[in-house]
Amino acid sequence: MSNKAKKGILLVQLGTPDSPTTPDVKKYLTEFLMDPRVIDIPYFQRTLLVKGIIARTRAPKSAKIYETIWDKETGSPLMHYSLLQRDLLQEALGEEYHVELAMRYQNPSIEFALRNLEGMLLESIRVIPLFPQYASATSGSVIDRVMELIRKWNYLPEISFVSNFCTDELMTETFADHARKHDLARFDHFVFSYHGLPVRQLGKVDPTGRLKCPETGCDSCKSTVNTYCYLSQCYATTRAIASKLGLKEEQYSLCFQSRLGKEPWIQPYTSDLLHDLAHKGYKKLLVFSPAFVADCIETIDEIGVEYAKEFKDLGGEEVCLVESLNDDPKWIASLKQLALNAKN
């Protein structure tokens, strides 16, 4: 057995409640929404908004939804698939590596996972936020928290981070493979729905303050992969998947879901797009959710149930959801390449 220090891999997902009960959902929502990178307003105002209104009113409703997707044996789908991804990546990398899983919010926490890694006196640690597109509220928050905790260590192994993998070949091919499980010819239109962000957060990634993207993005967003522009990376992921499926531009649309509050978020909103497509007479939609690498409440319920019902109420016939990456072997191969910092 070699005495050489192992290399650590830290996978970090967004998070999930510990159970589908109102107290646990409220605890999760509070930690999530109190993150200043998620709701970027002054602490006092954020506290009043989150603890006084959002978490208190949304927790009971969200808990009922979580109950519908919760498995008695494996828990939330996000946790189930994240654990599978951790175990399968560990198997793919072998004994020279040690893979830990953390959730940015709730359990297992980043602090818990880093404590495990610290005790192993590792040669290096590579952190992979499990978000294909970079945003300050997701990948940025993960990196921020890891740096906050790890700077207190008495020894520092080599640290590296994956900022984004929005056009990763194997990742986008996996989404295309999952779409091919459906009869593509029977769909009128293809929808790529991403998690939304407040418009102001797009401009804040530019330290000069000169970047002022309108609500639907500037022209370059739709054609160029800008390193820290979430919107441009969403378009890049969409183009990559559409190209693999041979889709023409007029066959698909991009939109954004899960907005919160009354301020402008990046557009078009998924709900508005569904109204527009129904008005134009489209009947059958195939929907991708490429901001998520594992099926979760945002895919299974928000798209598969809520938006499907909304579209049918508008006169549409079907909204079919493309399965996320989950435990697909090709996605695990993609994760391995990200862990090794290898180009595909």
Under 8 Å between Cβ of 193 and 288: yes
Three-state secondary structure call for residue 250 = helix
Phi, psi of 86, rounded to the nearest 5 degrees: -60, -50
Q: Is 195 annotated as a binding residue?
A: yes
Nearest to 296 by CA among 1, 8, 7, 15: 15
Query: Within 13 Å, how many C-alpha atoms sit on residue 203's CB side?
Result: 14
**Residue 260 DSSP class:** -
Q: In a 3-state reduction of DSSP, which class is residue 189?
A: strand
Q: Where are the beta strands (DSSP E) in 106-257?
A: 124-129, 158-161, 189-195, 252-257
153 vs 114: CA distance, rounded Å? 10
Tell me the pairing of strands 189-195 and 252-257.
Answer: parallel
CA atoms within 13 A on the CB side of 293: 34
Three-state DSSP class for residue 99: strand
Helix, strand counts (H, E) of the chain: 13, 8
- In terms of phi and psi (left: phi > 0; alpha: psi -120 to 50; beta: otherwise), the region of 15 is left
Residues of the binding site for Fe(2+): 195, 298
Residues of the binding site: 195, 298
